[in-house]
């Protein structure tokens, strides 16, 4: 009796479940049949009237029917959920080719970039990075570098003199003096920074530009060491093996003093307009630190020697990016600056 009832209910419910078209209908059936007050629950209430043997049989049937219905129900539920999710996702179609809102990436000034690159290079070779002020004393800028007053070398550097009696440094070399006093021997230091020359500005001349001073002081530092360091560093900077040559150059704070040329990277030394057909491009002044400079830096020139060099960062940037107007670098024009 009750078995028939149960199997009819199961069959009818299976049919209804198969026929539903929405998740809501399915839920209605679940509540109606499997819910706490559902039809199966009613059936199980009636079981109390049965004999223990019958109760066992019916109980098994009841569980089987319930389990079967739950499985069917769950399968359909999952199907509905999957369909609903698919539908929702489809609605969430997005065009990822439109530009992202908000700010894009900014860019670092090319001088910052090249400076960082060269700093890292020198640091990896054991050089400390030092800073010096833009406004310097006449002593540090000239006298301590073996350029006494009335020295003709002062003519070589048109100086901005200031109302406080000081000057705008004409080179980063005063940091040599500061570096020797701060670090003591042996030392390896570089000092990048802004320097000033009092001259008219045009496409190839600036009153404000950037240099990187370098100095190494140790026992028995020689010209051959200087050449080694310069060759190593310049090869790293230009990312290829460079050929360098030294020729005499006069700078009062070094003795001997050199102009360092690199073989023209455009024509590899065969001659082209960039190197004025000489095959060589003048790149940086350098030399062995003058004993007077060491002495003024508190270092005994009989015990120590050193080399120093000055690298033109502005020039390097212009070479690297083929910039033909030096004024762009401090013009603040974002059309230019966002290219780097």
Partner 1 sequence: MKFSSSWLAEHIDGLTLAPAELGSLITIKTAECEGVEAHGAHFDHVVVARVLTSEPIPGTHLAVTSVDTGRYGIKQVVCGAPNCRANLLTAYVPPGQLGVTNAKLRGVDSAGMLASAKELGISSEDEGIIEFVTGNPGDAIPGCSSDTIIEIDNKSLTHRPDLWGHHGMAREVSAITGRALRPLSADLPSGPAPIAVSIVDPKLCPRFSALRFENVTVQPSPLWLQQRLESVGLNPINNIVDVTNFVMADLAQPMHAYDAAKLNGGITVRTAADGEPCPALNGTTYFLDPSVLVIADESGPVGIAGIIGGGPSAISASTTTILLEAANFHAASIRKTSTKLKLRTDASMRFEKSQDPANTVRALARAIALLEQVSPGIRVVGGVADVYYPAAPPAPIEFSLAWMRRKLGKADLTAAEVTAILTSLAFGVTETDGEFTVTVPSWRATKDVSIKDDLVEEVGRMIGYGNLTPLPPLVPNTVPPLPPERAYLRGLRQLLTAQGYTEVYNYSFVNEAQALELGLPIADHVRVVNPIAQGQELLRTSLLPHIKRNINDNAREFESFRLFEIGKEIHDRGRDLPEEIPHLAAVSFTKHGDGTASLFELKRLAGTIAVGCTLEPATAHSYEHPFRSAVVILRNEPIGRLFEFHPSAVETGRAAVLYLDLVKLQALRPETGKYRPLRRFPTSAFDLTVVADPRELAGRVLGLIEPLAGPQALKVQYLYDYTSERGRSMTYRITVGAADRTLTSDEVTATRAAIIKGLEASGLTVQS
Of residues 38 and 192, the one with the C-beta less far from partner 1? 192
C-alpha span between 128 and 107 (Å, rounded): 26
Name which position in 40, 275, 296, 319 contacts Zn ion (CB under 5 A): 275
Of residues 203 and 266, the one with the C-beta less far from Zn ion? 266
Instruction: Map the footprint of partner 1 across residues 69-128, applying CB under 8 A.
Output: 102-109, 111-112, 116, 119, 123-128
Contacts of 9 (CB under 8 A, 6+ apart): 33, 39, 40, 43, 65
Tell me how far, at minimum, the Cβ of 272 lies from partner 1, in Å.
16
Name which position in 231, 295, 315, 320 contacts partner 1 (CB under 8 A): 231
Q: Examine residue 241 and tell whether it contacts partner 1 (CB under 8 A).
A: no
Terminal Cα-to-Cα distance of the chain (whole angstroms): 89
CB 248 within 8 A of CB 257: yes
CB 260 within 8 A of CB 286: yes
CB 287 within 8 A of CB 145: no
C-alpha span between 211 and 114 (Å, rounded): 11
C-alpha span between 58 and 48 (Å, rounded): 11
Of residues 26 and 289, the one with the C-beta less far from partner 1? 289
**267, interface contact from partner 1, Zn ion, none, CB < 5-8 Å by kind:** Zn ion
Tell me how far, at minimum, the Cβ of 246 lies from partner 1, in Å.
4
The count of chain residues that interact with Zn ion, using the rule CB under 5 A, is: 6
36 alpha-carbon distance from chain centroid:
64
Stretch that binds partner 1, among 7-15, 81-89, 90-98, 325-333 (CB under 8 A): 325-333
Q: Examine residue 320 and tell whether it contacts partner 1 (CB under 8 A).
A: no
Q: Examine residue 240 and tell whether it contacts partner 1 (CB under 8 A).
A: no
Instruction: Map the footprint of Zn ion across residues 238-267, applying CB under 5 A.
Output: 264, 266-267
Tell me how far, at minimum, the Cβ of 215 lies from partner 1, in Å.
13
Provide the CB-side half-sphere exposure for 107 (13 A, CA): 13
Stretch that binds partner 1, among 9-17, 20-28, 55-63, 330-338 (CB under 8 A): 330-338
**Token output for 98:** 């439109």
Instruction: Map the footprint of partner 1 across residues 137-176, applying CB under 8 A.
Output: 137, 149-150, 152-153, 155-156, 158-166, 168
295 burial type by CB count under 10 A (0-12 exposed, 13-18 middle, 19+ buried): middle
C-alpha span between 30 and 72 (Å, rounded): 11
Q: Examine residue 208 and tell whether it contacts partner 1 (CB under 8 A).
A: yes
CA proximity to 156, closest of 253, 262, 255 = 253
Of residues 213 and 261, the one with the C-beta less far from Zn ion? 261
Of residues 80 and 251, the one with the C-beta less far from partner 1? 251
Q: Examine residue 330 and tell whether it contacts partner 1 (CB under 8 A).
A: yes
């Amino acid at each position: 009796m009750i078995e028939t009832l149960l199997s009819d209910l199961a069959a009818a419910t299976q049919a209804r479940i198969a026929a539903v078209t929405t998740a809501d209908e399915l839920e209605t059936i679940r509540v109606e049949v499997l819910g706490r007050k559902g039809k199966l629950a009613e059936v199980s209430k009636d079981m109390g009237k049965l004999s223990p043997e019958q109760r066992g049989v019916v109980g098994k049937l009841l569980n089987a029917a319930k389990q079967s219905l739950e499985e069917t129900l769950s399968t359909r539920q999952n199907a509905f959920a999957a369909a609903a999710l698919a539908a929702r996702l489809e609605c969430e179609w997005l065009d990822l080719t439109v530009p992202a809102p908000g700010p894009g990436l900014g860019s670092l000034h090319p001088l910052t970039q090249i400076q960082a690159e060269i700093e890292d290079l020198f640091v990896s070779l054991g050089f400390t990075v030092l800073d010096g002020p833009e406004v310097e004393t006449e002593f540090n800028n000239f006298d301590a570098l073996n350029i006494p007053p009335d020295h003709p070398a002062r003519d070589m550097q048109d100086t901005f003199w200031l109302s406080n009696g000081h000057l705008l440094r004409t080179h980063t070399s005063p940091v040599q003096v500061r570096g020797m006093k701060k670090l003591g021997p042996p030392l390896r230091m570089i000092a990048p920074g802004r320097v000033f020359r009092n001259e008219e500005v045009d496409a190839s001349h600036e009153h404000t530009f950037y240099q990187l001073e370098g100095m190494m002081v140790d026992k028995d530092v020689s010209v051959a060491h200087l050449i080694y360091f310069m060759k190593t560093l310049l090869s790293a900077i230009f990312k290829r093996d460079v050929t360098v040559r030294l020729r005499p150059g006069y700078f009062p704070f070094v003795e001997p003093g050199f102009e360092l040329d690199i073989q023209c990277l455009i024509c590899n030394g065969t001659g082209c307009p960039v190197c004025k057909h000489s095959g060589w491009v003048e790149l940086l002044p350098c030399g062995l630190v003058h004993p007077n400079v060491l002495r003024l830096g508190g270092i005994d020139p009989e015990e120590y020697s050193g080399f120093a060099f000055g690298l033109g960062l502005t020039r390097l940037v212009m070479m690297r990016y083929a910039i033909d107007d030096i004024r762009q670098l401090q013009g603040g024009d974002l059309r230019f600056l966002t290219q780097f």
